[in-house]
Amino acid sequence: MRKFVLAGIDGSAESTAAAQWAADEAVRRGHALRLVHAWTWEDDVHADPGQPAQVRALTERMLADAARQVRSAHPGLEVHTGLLPGHEPTASLLAAAAESELLAVGSLGLGGFEGLLVGSVGLNAAARCDVPVVLVRAAAQTQQAGARDAAEVVVGIDTRAPADEVVDFAFQEAAARGTVLRAVHGWTPPAVWGYAGWVAPRIETEQFRAIEDELLSQALSMWRDKYPDVAVVEDSRIVGGAGAVVDASGDAALVVVGRHRRRHHLGLRLGPVAHAVIHHAQAPVAVVPHD
């Protein structure tokens, strides 16, 4: 079965950036690229909603234009396009993603998302998809156009419960790029009560730092052995987990965070760290589901 990297297209600058990122990723993986649009009669303001054929023609033209741009940058890349059926864009996109290696969608970054049809689509996909979802900002993709492959891959690590799927994905990405993996762990020392209120004594903080550094090393030990060619920077910071990852994202090629798979269907399923990183990171963000 042919393996695909999937990108959702809606004609926005963000989705164009997502298509470009997905094309680069498909080349790195040796996979084909599939560009899709979740089509409904209401999704194009330039067409008459009473003329579905007109809407379909415009959306097909949009996909063809996106494919043409991608092929121009990657002449040997196998590119497919398709309109996704259904009245609920997120469900259509998730169904298509289930047959792909990963999904790339556009993101507005700070302040929210612009989805494929409405603002909630990208966020819902990141929260519900069974494969990794990469959210790409147009500005971040443009800024890194010349050097993104050489930049670090950053991954957020929960040392108390490191998720194999997340760490493995990050190591794979670093290996494919031939670049450094920066493993970031944010933590805060427990406070004690003193005359100045709740404070963290300096001596005890240094002791906790040594413990946290050791926990990070232990969490990465198996993966260093599995990927001996990947250079790893262990980055343990006294700051909240989301803040540590966001701070490390400035020069990154990709930021990797995890989210728990949940069996219920109520509400979004993004944790606070993933949610904050998606909105504030300065690089494309991969949200990797794990058990």
Q: Which are the contacts of 197, defined by CB distance < 8 A and separation ≥ 6?
A: none
Q: What is the pLDDT of residue 270?
A: 81
Same domain, 249 and 213: yes
Percentage with pLDDT > 90 across the chain: 53
Same domain, 117 and 158: no
Q: What is the pLDDT of residues 39-70, one digit of tens each?
A: 654 454 454 555 556 667 878 888 999 999 99
pLDDT at 126 > cutoff 50: yes
Does residue 105 belong to any structural domain of this protein?
Answer: yes
Does residue 39 belong to any structural domain of this protein?
Answer: yes
Instruction: Enter the tokens of residue 22.
Output: 């997905």
CA atoms of 149 and 87, how far apart (whole Å)? 38
- Angstrom distances, CA of residue 43 to CA of 49, 84, 127, 135: 9, 13, 23, 21
- Angstrom distances, CA of residue 3 to CA of 79, 98, 101, 226: 12, 11, 7, 23
Alpha-carbon torsion, ordered 244, 246, 251, 254, to 10 deg: 110
| H or E stretch covering 5 | strand 4-8
pLDDT at 278 > cutoff 80: yes
CA angle centred on 222, ends 218 and 226, rounded to 5°: 150
Same domain, 120 and 158: no
Kindly indicate the confidence band of residue 164, based on its pLDDT and cuts at 50, 70 and 90: very high
Q: What is the pLDDT of residue 144?
A: 52
Give the chain's mean pLDDT.
83
Please count the other Cβ atoms lying within 10 Å of the Cβ belonging to residue 42. Answer: 11
Q: Would you give the distance in Å from CA 246 to the centre of its chain?
A: 13
Q: Do the Cβ atoms of 270 and 262 come closer than 8 Å?
A: no
The CATH number covering residue 60 comes to 3.40.50.620
Q: Give the bridge partners for 234, in sequence order.
A: 183
Does residue 204 belong to any structural domain of this protein?
Answer: yes
Same domain, 21 and 104: yes
**Domain residues for 268?**
153-290
The mean per-residue pLDDT over the stretch 85-112 comes to 81
pTM: 0.86
In the chain, count of helices (H) and strands (E)? 9, 12
Kindly indicate the confidence band of residue 264, based on its pLDDT and cuts at 50, 70 and 90: low
Same domain, 204 and 74: no
Q: What is the pLDDT of residues 184-210, one digit of tens each?
A: 999 887 765 444 555 555 556 788 889
Same domain, 93 and 178: no
Kindly indicate the confidence band of residue 78, based on its pLDDT and cuts at 50, 70 and 90: very high
Q: How many domains are there within the chain?
A: 2
Helical H segments across the chain, by residue range: 13-29, 52-73, 89-97, 120-128, 138-143, 164-177, 202-226, 241-247, 272-280
Q: Do the Cβ atoms of 273 and 257 come closer than 8 Å?
A: yes
Domain boundary among 124, 143, 162: 143
Same domain, 130 and 160: no
Pairing of strands 285-290, 197-199: unpaired
The mean per-residue pLDDT over the stretch 20-36 comes to 96
Biggest distance spanned by C-alpha atoms of the chain: 74
Q: What is the pLDDT of residue 191?
A: 60
Pairing of strands 192-194, 197-199: antiparallel
DSSP-derived letter for residue 19 is H
Does residue 121 belong to any structural domain of this protein?
Answer: yes
The CATH number covering residue 159 comes to 3.40.50.12370
Same domain, 169 and 39: no
Question: Rounded to 5 degrees, what are φ and ψ at 68?
Answer: -65, -45
Does residue 148 belong to any structural domain of this protein?
Answer: no
Q: Which residue has the higher pLDDT, 43 or 107?
A: 107
Kindly indicate the confidence band of residue 150, based on its pLDDT and cuts at 50, 70 and 90: low
Same domain, 127 and 185: no
Same domain, 80 and 98: yes
Same domain, 133 and 163: no
Same domain, 208 and 185: yes
Domain boundary among 143, 164, 194: 143
As to burial, measured by CB atoms within 10 angstroms (0-12 exposed, 13-18 middle, 19+ buried), residue 175 is middle
Domain boundary among 112, 143, 174: 143
